Each structure stands twice: as structure tokens, then as C-alpha cells.
């Protein structure tokens, strides 16, 4: 996870914070490896963009975090966010990959198009 985060963080021109939140209990995410400033330590599935991705199993591409109901502001400078669920090959949700940017609308469908298959390949055989 640390290597994946490092590579993505340095590859994306607008990524100001990149990290994993791991499923550690039912409906609960805990911070994993990340690059950037401090992140939130614990996020319930019921809150924020990361929680929405974990709860629904769907990618959350939020061009304006201020317009997202119940957004959790881990950093007040964050303007947009891309969160992708991370599944293993058996269909178990391992966590989410969170990319935050201080730039509005920083993430595109093209970002989703390369990140989703990358995560699927890397975490195919992973376990909790």
C-alpha cells in the first residue's frame, strides 16, 4: 500500500494528499499508508466521501467538497476529492484509496479509468 500511494501521489499533478483508509471493523475505516499532511485517523462508513465510497462500493469523484453533504474536512485547503473502493479478487472490501486536491475539479474520469484497474490488479490476492 505504501508503494502504491507513493507512486500515485507523485504521478498525479494535482494530488495534495493520497492515502488508503483500511476496513478495520464493520462500517469503520482507519488510516493506512499515505503521502501528504495529516489525515483523519478514523472514518465511519456513514460519514464523508470516504465513507460514501465504502458504503456504496462506488467511486466518488467530488469536484467541490463544499457541495458534498457531510464532507469531513481533514484539511481545510482541500477543494476536490477522488475516492475509490479497494476490493480483493474475492469481492471483499479492503478499504478505499483517497486522493485530495487543493485544486477544484482536479480529478477526471481518465483518472478513474487507470486507477480502478490498477487497484484491482495490485490487490487481487490481498486479505484484510
Q: Is the pLDDT higher at 94 or at 127?
A: 94
Confidence at residue 73, expressed as pLDDT on a 0 to 100 scale: 86
pLDDT tens-digit map of 91-104: 999 999 999 999 99
- 20 found inside a domain: yes
Confidence at residue 4, expressed as pLDDT on a 0 to 100 scale: 96
- Give the structural domain span for 38: 2-119
Confidence at residue 17, expressed as pLDDT on a 0 to 100 scale: 97
DSSP secondary structure letters along 24-75: EETTEEEEEEEESS---SEEETTSHHHHHHHHH-S-EEES-GGGSTT---SS
- 126 found inside a domain: no
- 38 found inside a domain: yes
Count of domains observed in the chain: 1
- The answer on pLDDT for 128 being more than 80 is no
- 125 found inside a domain: no
Here the CATH number for the domain that contains residue 107 is: 3.30.450.40
Confidence at residue 70, expressed as pLDDT on a 0 to 100 scale: 86
Confidence at residue 126, expressed as pLDDT on a 0 to 100 scale: 92
pLDDT tens-digit map of 4-44: 999 999 999 999 999 999 999 999 999 999 999 988 999 99
- 124 found inside a domain: no
pLDDT tens-digit map of 41-61: 999 999 999 999 999 999 999
- 95 found inside a domain: yes
Q: Is 91 left (phi over 0), alpha (psi -120 to 50) or beta?
A: left
Contact, 71 vs 107, CB < 8 A? Answer: no
- 91 found inside a domain: yes
Nearest-angstrom CA–CA distance, 24 and 76? 26
pLDDT tens-digit map of 53-89: 999 999 999 999 999 988 998 889 999 999 999 999 9
The partner residues of 60 in beta bridges, in order of sequence, read: 83
Total-model pTM: 0.96
Amino acid at each position: 500500500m505504501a508503494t502504491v500511494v507513493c507512486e500515485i501521489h507523485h504521478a498525479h499533478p494535482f494530488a495534495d494528499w493520497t492515502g488508503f483508509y483500511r476496513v478495520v471493523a464493520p462500517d469503520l475505516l482507519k488510516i493506512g499508508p499515505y503521502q501528504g499532511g495529516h489525515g483523519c485517523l478514523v472514518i465511519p462508513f456513514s460519514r464523508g466521501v470516504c465513507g460514501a465510497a465504502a458504503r456504496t462500493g462506488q467511486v466518488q469523484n467530488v469536484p467541490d467538497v463544499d457541495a458534498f453533504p457531510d464532507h469531513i474536512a481533514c484539511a481545510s485547503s482541500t477543494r476536490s476529492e477522488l475516492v475509490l473502493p479497494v476490493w480483493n479478487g474475492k469481492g471483499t472490501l479492503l478499504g478505499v484509496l483517497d486522493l485530495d486536491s487543493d485544486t477544484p475539479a482536479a480529478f477526471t474520469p481518465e483518472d478513474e479509468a487507470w486507477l480502478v484497474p490498477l487497484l484491482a490488479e495490485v490487490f487481487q490476492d490481498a486479505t484484510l
